[in-house]
Structure 1
Amino acid sequence: MTKVLIIGAGHAGGTVAALLRQYGHEGEIVLAGEEPAPPYQRPPLSKAWLKGETDLEGLLLRPESFYAEHGIELRLGASATAINAAARTVIFADGAVESYDALILATGSTARKLTIPGAERPELLELRTLVDAERLKAALGPGRRLAIIGGGYVGLEAAASARALGSDAVVVERMDRVLARVASHTLSDFFTGYHRRHGVEILTSAEVTAVEDDGARLADGRLVEADAVLVGVGALACDQLALGAGLTCENGVVVDETARTSDPAIWAIGDATFRPVPTHAGRRHRLESVPNALEQAKQAAAAITGRAPPAAEVPWFWSDQYDVKLQIAGLPDGADRQVVRGDPDPAGDSPSFAVFHLQGDRVLCVEAVNAGPEFMAGRMMIGRGTPVDPEKLADPSVSMKAVAVG
């Protein structure tokens, strides 16, 4: 009977363990993770957890008792150090050796580090784990000032939470706009204005050259004074185990549409993978999102249990900041025009708009701010390849249902 060993007990690892049982796997399942907590949700760390709106029980994917009840051996605080692919074994830091018939790597990603003076300071904050979130929460409160290096989603979400807790916040971004690598100019401009409206200071085209006792030093000599400094400059795939095992890696662990690696006995899922996206011409991407982790968990569990593969899904993402819900579906690669539907004015009382990225008359991506119908219809149109009339798409008086029928 097949023994499945899962390395990484995050959202992807915890989900695939449960799916294996749901799909009828009767063999041994071992789920090993480095952290002391059972699998939990990471998105709330920068929002609900920081603001004290949830506790550990609320973060957990499933009660800890679930694993024992379903015959899943949960090993916490277990760090895998090497894979012997020929022998089909994994070596752990404590010297333990675990065999497998099928191995699933769900190792996730790690925060990108700064390479400037002061980057090694122990008080420097990042936000990837529950421990990180606890340290950040302790640094926030009335009268405190948080400097955030990096204007990506994590940085902006942390800034919103800091303001909710009464802290001042300043975001320092080296590019000429926040979200420069992941969002349209329209979305960047909206979030810049919305954060400033809520009292966040945003500095763009500003490069941090050192972290000092009193804050972050910029290339032009200015000191961004702060009680605490958070680094949010992206994440790197945790692919060291895969590289050491000789697996093909490129911007993460390379997998196929079933989440299988270059070794037929090893699968990889979640943030650590570089995967084909069938709904976008099969081009490979490294997607850091919960929906991606869930989709690949389904792919791997289906392949291991002999079930039919799940239908390809349109990638999607979300971010909550203040009273704004951002939902993104699809990927903008290859788009040749953008259509804005609604009013992206950050000074509005109830902002609601969507940015559609089109290639010809096909929607490739939609960025929807407080615009559920646009997100849902856009996601459907991307998956089906539905042609659209750009003029109707831009007209809020034309329902999305009417736009979506082509």
Structure 2
Amino acid sequence: MAEGHSKLDGPDLVQGIAFADLPDGGKVVGHCGNEQVLLVRRGTEVFAIGATCTHYGGPLVDGLVVKDTVRCPWHHACFDLREGEALRAPAFNPLACWSVEQRDDRIFVGEKRKRTAPKQRVGGPSQVPEKIVIVGGGAAGFAAAEKLRREHYHGNIVMLSNDEAPPVDRPNLSKDYLAGKAPEDWIPLRGESFYSKNNIDLRLHANVTSIDTRSREVVLADGVRTPYDRLLLATGAEPVRLAIPGANQPHVHTLRSLADCKAIIERAMTARRAIVLGASFIGLEVAAALRSRDIEVHVVAPEKRPMERILGPQMGDFIRALHEENGVVFHLENTASSIDGRNAKLSSGGTLTADFVVAGIGVRPRTGLAEKAGLSLDRGVIVNAFLETSAPGIFAAGDIARWPDPHSGENIRVEHWVVAERQGRTAALNMLGHREKFIAVPFFWSQHYDVPINYVGYAGQWDEIAVDGDIIAKDCLLRFTREGRTLAVASIFRDIESLEAEVEMERQMT
């Protein structure tokens, strides 16, 4: 997330710049009063918008202009140049906009424009549901509720979450917040007043036990039955639990919720050594965060290389070397067979001693409700292109949803934060009766110390990895191809090329 600017960059746009200094498609950062402003030219039109992404403060001048939008270089949020509207997650807040005047071959930025409510879609549905129930308080559930209100939906929204906290920015829990570099006020996706102000009935500690599809009611553990006209299942995933002796001890942690993260932070305050089980993205982000707290970290994982299954052998070797350079000790091709107090016995016969353990051995989709309701399942909840399940009026989004991905040509299920948010938005539209297919290209990012890894697309299997640049030098783009077709792209400090790859994948689907 961005902090306040200590100094203002670029020209004073109130005084104006020469029209010739802004080529077609070009971008210039300047300032208007004490705010940074981005000028973007499209043909003869010039737009003035806030210069930083409202998600984490990415510099939009380094982003990509596509038609009348600009995409953030960091995490691929997208904004409308005309109104500043946040069109794609992970951004939800709009950008500020300024008036622009052209005279005497110069461009002048005037007053900040007053924000107006987003326009209602033309040709909306004739029948709007009176009551929408969302089961889940994560990325997809939040994005759906937010989108419903943004679309001027005035019916009832009930959001049932079994968490103790309102929806949070989960990626930060394994990154800056766990590392002690982010304040807690960064963590909520919205303040608590957002839900009351927007008349969203958010119920925490709400455990849904079943869905009565005949009466169209959701049944809670306390017996309360909540009726719905449309239902969104956004139950997410839960950590895979260790099934070894000693796994239920209080110093053995998983990381999924804000409460989980706080428990690890509290343990880390007095710890000197930790064991991380699993060399996944979450496991290694936890390792990096704990190293930022000067805790000795040992990573135990069954793989030969970290993350080879997703990123291939060369990137796997690089990630291992990066963590080793930062003091992480790996015990690969190994698992923990038991935990006895501070001692963890390994399958290789060795023993590690640590003050606490974090298990990051994967997650599994929470499909119990869907299965009990008789919905079609296949390693997740099967949905169509509109994210509707086999039961009319019931939709699914996020980690549980297996959808027909037009780019890969496969039915896929991914556990990516941005995908969940984008699916939540699409599900919201379709619950209102719009027929909008979910065609977004999957995207995720991972952070390891000062190295960001961006991944666009989906490659369950590939037959070649083409490397452009130098992985070791942290300047590279990898293309995962099958039969000559690019399915996914991973990159380090190749932001524009990552965005261009996303746009190209989108074009292939149209």
TM-score by length of 1: 0.90
Aligned-pair distance for 1:104? 0.7
What does residue 336 of structure 2 align with? 208
CA-to-aligned-CA distance 1:176-227 (integer Å, 9 cap, x gap): 1111332211111110000000100011111221122123211121002111
1:223 aligns with 2:351: yes
Structure with greater helix share of residues:
1
Change in Cα spacing, 1:67 to 1:142, as seen in structure 2 (3 Å) is closer
What does residue 3 of structure 2 align with? none
How far apart, in 2, do the equivalents of 1:161 and 1:45 lie?
Answer: 10
CA-to-aligned-CA distance 1:95-124 (integer Å, 9 cap, x gap): 211111111111010000121111222321
What does residue 104 of structure 1 align with? 232
What does residue 322 of structure 1 align with? 449
What does residue 286 of structure 1 align with? 413
How far apart, in 2, do the equivalents of 1:53 and 1:219 lie?
Answer: 35
How far apart, in 2, do the equivalents of 1:291 and 1:277 lie?
Answer: 15
CA-to-aligned-CA distance 1:263-297 (integer Å, 9 cap, x gap): 0121111112122212211x112111122112211
What does residue 393 of structure 1 align with? none
1:354 aligns with 2:482: no
Letter in structure 2 aligned against 1:48: D
How far apart, in 1, do the equivalents of 2:478 and 2:398 lie?
Answer: 27
1:339 aligns with 2:459: no
Consecutive unaligned residues of structure 2, counting only runs of 5 or more, are: 1-128
1:152-171 matches, within 5 Å, as: 152-171=280-299
CA-to-aligned-CA distance 1:52-105 (integer Å, 9 cap, x gap): 333343111112111111121111111111111111111112221111111111
Whether contact under 8 Å (2:143, 2:422) holds in the other structure is: no
Secondary structure of 1:184's aligned partner: helix
Consecutive unaligned residues of structure 1, counting only runs of 5 or more, are: 387-406
Letter in structure 2 aligned against 1:356: R
Aligned length: 381
Whether contact under 8 Å (2:446, 2:452) holds in the other structure is: yes
How far apart, in 2, do the equivalents of 1:311 and 1:112 lie?
Answer: 28
1:29-68 matches, within 5 Å, as: 29-68=157-196
What does residue 402 of structure 1 align with? none
Change in Cα spacing, 1:36 to 1:270, as seen in structure 2 (3 Å) is same
Deviates more, 1:308-317 or 1:199-208: 308-317
1:275 to 378, 381, 403: 403
How far apart, in 1, do the equivalents of 2:470 and 2:475 lie?
Answer: 7
Aligned-pair distance for 1:308? 4.4
Structure with greater strand share of residues:
2
Aligned-pair distance for 1:359? 2.9
CA-to-aligned-CA distance 1:321-350 (integer Å, 9 cap, x gap): 1000000001123532211111112xx4xx
Deviates more, 1:370-379 or 1:199-208: 370-379
CA-to-aligned-CA distance 1:347-379 (integer Å, 9 cap, x gap): x4xx22121112344321111112212312222
What does residue 394 of structure 1 align with? none
Larger radius of gyration: 2
Whether contact under 8 Å (2:385, 2:438) holds in the other structure is: no
How far apart, in 1, do the equivalents of 2:188 and 2:264 lie?
Answer: 20
- Runs in 1 of length 4+ with deviation above 4 angstroms? none
Give the superposed CA RMSD: 1.7
1:354-373 matches, within 5 Å, as: 354-373=477-496
How far apart, in 2, do the equivalents of 1:337 and 1:55 lie?
Answer: 42
Secondary structure of 2:311's aligned partner: coil
How far apart, in 1, do the equivalents of 2:184 and 2:374 lie?
Answer: 37
What does residue 237 of structure 1 align with? 365
Whether contact under 8 Å (1:142, 1:165) holds in the other structure is: no
